[in-house]
Amino acid sequence: MLLTLLVSTLLAVAAPADTLTDYYTVETIPTPEGLIVETGGIAFMPDGRLVACFHRGEVMMYNPKTRKWSLFAEGLHDPLGVLPVSNNEVLVIQRPELTRIKDVNGDGVADRYETVTDQFGMSGNYHEFAFGPVKDAKGNLYFSLNTASNGAGIREEIRGQYDSLGRQGRMYACVPYRGWVMQLSPDGKLTPWASGFRSPNGIGFDAKGRLMVTDNQGDWLGTSKLYVVEKGKFYGHPASLVWREGFPDIDPLTLTPEQLDSMRTREVVAFPHQRMAHSPTQMVADLTGGKFGPYAGQLFVGEMDFPRLVRVMFDEVDGELQGACVPFMDKVGLRPGNNRLVFAPDGSLWVGQNDHGWVGARGLQRIVYQQGIPLDVMAMHLTATGFDLTFSQPLDEAAARQLANYAFRRFYYKYHRAYGSPEMDSQPVPVTEVKLSADKRTVSLALSELKKGYVYELTLGKLRSADGKKKVANQLVCYTLNRLKSSATATVHTKP
Amino acid sequence: MLSTFYVIRSFWLWLPLFTEPAAAKLPVCQGATAVYADTTIVIRALAGLQYEQTRIVVKPKTRFRIVLENADDMSHNLVVTRPNSRMKVVEAALKMGTEGARKNYVPNLPEVLANIPLLEPDHTDTLTLTLDEGAYPFVCTYPGHGYVMYGVIHATREPKRLPSVEADPYVPKRTGAGDHSAHQMASPHPYKMTFPALYRTFMPECGPAAIAVGLPADAAVGQQSYCWDAGSCRLRYVWTGGFVDSYGHWEGNGNRLTKVVGDIYYNDRSGFPFRIGNTTPVPQFRGYELVNRYPKFMYSLGGIQVTELIKAVPGKRGLVRQFTLSAGKQPVTFLLDQQEGVQYQTRINNVVASAKNGRLLLPAGTRQFTVTMLVP
Ligand SMILES: [Cu+2]
């Protein structure tokens, strides 16, 4: 009896030696000698080979079975995305165009490079990258176009129409569709789809097929963001507005931040600078049906500057998407520079790295799920009075019921012309009540106050699994609260 | 390394490729090391996580001022540390967490001697400092930057005894920013360079959608290469003596152009060469096919599809341009760029056909013609 008490006390005090590496391993894929592994795009061919494109223009194939690399295409200009069409054909985006690359004669090496579209401008500014393409269920392709940087000028000869009104500002769009997401329909019609992007180096879909883009902290972006992209919408970086149909002949920067604020569509998830991400990249939805562990249906986002990924959990509030992010695989063997992500047919997550003139690393790694379920936050839902947190496992009741194990802080990022933003109006938000569900997996937290337009940063304390063997894998969760539940004001003081 | 930047900068200035060349604010420079007679030192933070100046030499016990100009599109700071303390300060900055942003990522350590706080793009700030004899690192402690973005201040009375910049252990080594002769020996790819070879890249004196093609070398004239503009669908210039050096363009953010290796012997001055009837068509690039590695460019002129395949003239300085046209109802004219010293031989449907006043008339229905250009 005494012994049992002693043991359980010891268990309660000692932190379990439980780490994410018990569940996931990171492997480094050997790459050919002489290859500068600045990865621009990775994907799997229908036959299971990896196709990857690199900064110096190579498109290479890697057979995971034989572990052999072979060259498929070469000479491209900074290819930053690849999409397989068939076992001998891929689409690649490079600075000047979207290109269809085919091996027609069947010798394994491409011999035909067809311009699919080059109907966008190039000022010659180094920052005018092109990202994508990704394909929706209807066969439409999407790609995104970076704005130019006033860290450098433009070339004497440019491609496309020049508009000096788009030349103002730190990141600019003096040629068509810089700062836009473009749609190319299966019949070849190119449509400027959505505007207001700065550096959209991440384009993809969530598990429900919603088009998503990440954008990078900078001017007009207080922090890095994840957007749901819909036709015709403007997402906040003003330069691209000059290419919007019907936009008046003015420099968009003459609009006030308040005017621009009222025009823009907010991010669904903000990635708090430094704590979560500096430079988010491509996103990929976990559609492995459990082959990659317990996070099926969630979104993983790459991060350039830190050795980790970011995991996104969505929440739908009155039909509008918002959500939370959590670090994933932080400092457990993954390098920084995680530019491109793709799930292999076996459910492992491949990560192509890049350090192209920024912080990062070079190379190719893959994350392999081993077994077991880490103790982790699986969902975060806004309630009328706070948040419901659902965990992957039943929680130790005593720890779960302690208010001190949930430290909330809220702040917002300023929408303004300056580069980045400090955390504004940062305040701790006391948790007033904790309830634990009958299955001990969901914690309902009531907060002293909920305010829209803020990021709610939650730092979890020493939560453990009910059996005491597992500690919570990630203690930081950041929820972007754009919208309160419409019932919130009505029910906040009403108890059932 | 410093000298390379100066070379590039001045290259921009005399060759107005950029409509807005970066302002030339250069410190006094002697060879590869900046030695400051003045007590104000300007350090620019540039794209690609680098300071433009990576080695500074000052007199010990003499007050000097550092001006940091942030010419990059991200934020940077500048921290001067005690000798051999750069990594300690960098690691400490990394551990600052949320504190970091508020404190400009400058850790509170005795190793930090002075700092310029985090500067947004386009901002400038200064510090003043007096140093004893020694090698003092300066570094950007913004998380991640400190591993590559740094330099050194040598406070010394004997600057001549310093190692060369290349051998200076306190100066970051950047592949590609220095002498590229070693690179050119080896292939920049995981395979041997085989000619013809093609790069889509930023070339000088061309539109931004440029294609550089290196042709197989010839015993008589060496290697010939050409630049073809995929924006305006035309040959721009041709050179002998090598292919291109792309290292400058590949390193950093891609702001630097790929360089021609060799001497340009022909530069087109006449613009788009095709006329359909009396009009100048607007071409649309459609890509290329590789025929024994030679690119066969494809573009359309309204309803007419054109292919163009370019080879070197064997044993002579010049190119053979083979064109095909899809069926068209109107006559097409190909204008020869009339320049002194340039000779043309033209054939239509494999039969010698001469141009009149530099105009090669292609009767309606012409499917194939060849323009051989010789520049002896
Ligand atoms: Cu920096």
Do residues A346 and A438 share a domain? Answer: no
Q: What is the pLDDT of residue A357?
A: 63
Do residues A408 and A350 share a domain? Answer: no
| More confident position, B253 or B152 | B152
Q: What is the pLDDT of residue B94?
A: 84
Chain B: residue whose CA lies nearest to A36: B189
pTM above 0.95, yes or no: no
Q: What is the pLDDT of residue B170?
A: 87
Provide the residue count of chain A: 496
Do residues A355 and A441 share a domain? Answer: no
Query: Of A267, A251, A247, A147, which Cα lies nearest the Cα of A199?
Result: A147
| More confident position, B94 or A428 | A428
Chain A nearest C-alpha distance from B342 (Å): 25
Do residues A106 and A183 share a domain? Answer: yes
- Per the CB < 8 A criterion, the answer to whether A78 and A95 are in contact is yes
- Per the CB < 8 A criterion, the answer to whether A141 and A133 are in contact is yes
Q: Tell me the CATH number at A350.
A: 2.120.10.30
Q: What is the pLDDT of residue B181?
A: 41
How far apart are alpha carbons A295 and A314 in whole angstroms? 12
Do residues A337 and A458 share a domain? Answer: no
Kindly state whether residue A491 falls inside one of the protein's structural domains. no
Kindly state whether residue A193 falls inside one of the protein's structural domains. yes
Structural domains of chain A, count = 2
End-to-end CA, chain B: 38
A191 - beta bridge partners?
A183
Note whether A419 contacts B75, CB cutoff 8 Å: yes
Asked which of A369, A397, A424 is the last residue of a domain, the reply is: A369
Note whether A155 contacts B145, CB cutoff 8 Å: no
Do residues A304 and A389 share a domain? Answer: no
Do residues A299 and A321 share a domain? Answer: yes
Structural domain containing residue A57? 24-369
Do residues A358 and A390 share a domain? Answer: no
Do residues A400 and A356 share a domain? Answer: no
Instruction: For residue A149, list chain B residues with Cβ-Cβ distance below 8 A.
Output: 47, 73
Kindly state whether residue A18 falls inside one of the protein's structural domains. no
Closest in B189, B206, B254 to A126, CB measured = B254
Band (B47; pLDDT cuts 50, 70, 90): confident
Q: Is the pLDDT of residue B37 over 70?
A: no
Note whether A275 contacts B251, CB cutoff 8 Å: no
Do residues A320 and A207 share a domain? Answer: yes
**Test mutation, B191, B292, B296, chain A, max A CBs within 10 A:** B191
Kindly state whether residue A3 falls inside one of the protein's structural domains. no
Kindly state whether residue A286 falls inside one of the protein's structural domains. yes
Query: Of A240, A34, A46, A16, which Cα lies nearest the Cα of A147?
Result: A240
Q: Tell me the CATH number at A446.
A: 2.60.40.1220
Do residues A262 and A407 share a domain? Answer: no
Backbone phi, psi, residue B10, to 5°: -70, -30
Kindly state whether residue A420 falls inside one of the protein's structural domains. yes
Asked which of A369, A397, A426 is the last residue of a domain, the reply is: A369
Q: What is the pLDDT of residue B39?
A: 82
Kindly state whether residue A488 falls inside one of the protein's structural domains. no
Kindly state whether residue A7 falls inside one of the protein's structural domains. no
How far apart are alpha carbons A470 and A17 in whole angstroms? 8
Instruction: For residue A126, list chain B residues with Cβ-Cβ distance below 8 A.
Output: 47, 253-255
B374 - beta bridge partners?
B318, B343
Band (B27; pLDDT cuts 50, 70, 90): very low
Kindly give the confidence (pLDDT) of every residue in chain A, 496 residues in length, as a single tens digit, with 9 standing for 90 and above. Answer: 444 444 444 444 455 678 889 999 999 999 999 999 999 999 999 999 999 999 999 999 999 999 999 999 999 999 999 999 999 999 999 999 999 999 999 999 999 999 999 999 999 999 999 999 999 999 999 999 999 999 889 999 999 999 999 999 999 999 999 999 999 999 999 999 999 999 999 999 999 999 999 999 999 999 999 999 999 999 999 999 999 999 999 999 999 999 999 999 999 999 999 999 999 999 999 999 999 999 999 999 999 999 999 999 999 999 999 999 999 999 999 999 999 999 999 999 999 999 876 678 899 999 999 999 999 999 999 999 999 999 999 999 999 999 999 999 999 999 999 999 999 999 999 999 999 999 999 999 999 999 999 999 999 999 999 999 999 999 999 999 999 998 655 444 433 3
Provide the residue count of chain B: 376
Asked which of A369, A401, A419 is the last residue of a domain, the reply is: A369
Q: What is the pLDDT of residue A17?
A: 77
Q: What are the residues whose beta carbons fall under 8 Å from the beta carbon of A289, sequence distance 6 or more? A: A296
Mean pLDDT is lowest, of A189-198, A450-459, B65-74, B308-317, for B65-74
The full set of domains in chain B, from first to last, is 2-161 (2.60.40.420), 181-374 (no CATH)
A270 - beta bridge partners?
A225
**Test mutation, A74, A112, A305, chain B, max B CBs within 10 A:** A74
* Coil, strand or helix at A234: strand
Among A405-414, B34-43, B172-181, the range of highest mean pLDDT: A405-414
Note whether B246 contacts A34, CB cutoff 8 Å: no
Q: What is the pLDDT of residue A317?
A: 96
How far apart are alpha carbons A21 and A112 in whole angstroms? 44
> Concatenated DSSP letters for A25-79?
EEEEPP--TT----EEEEEE-TTS-EEEEETTS-EEEEETTTTEEEEEE---SS-
Band (B111; pLDDT cuts 50, 70, 90): very high
End-to-end CA, chain A: 41
Distance of CA A94 to the CA centre of its chain: 21
Do residues A300 and A388 share a domain? Answer: no
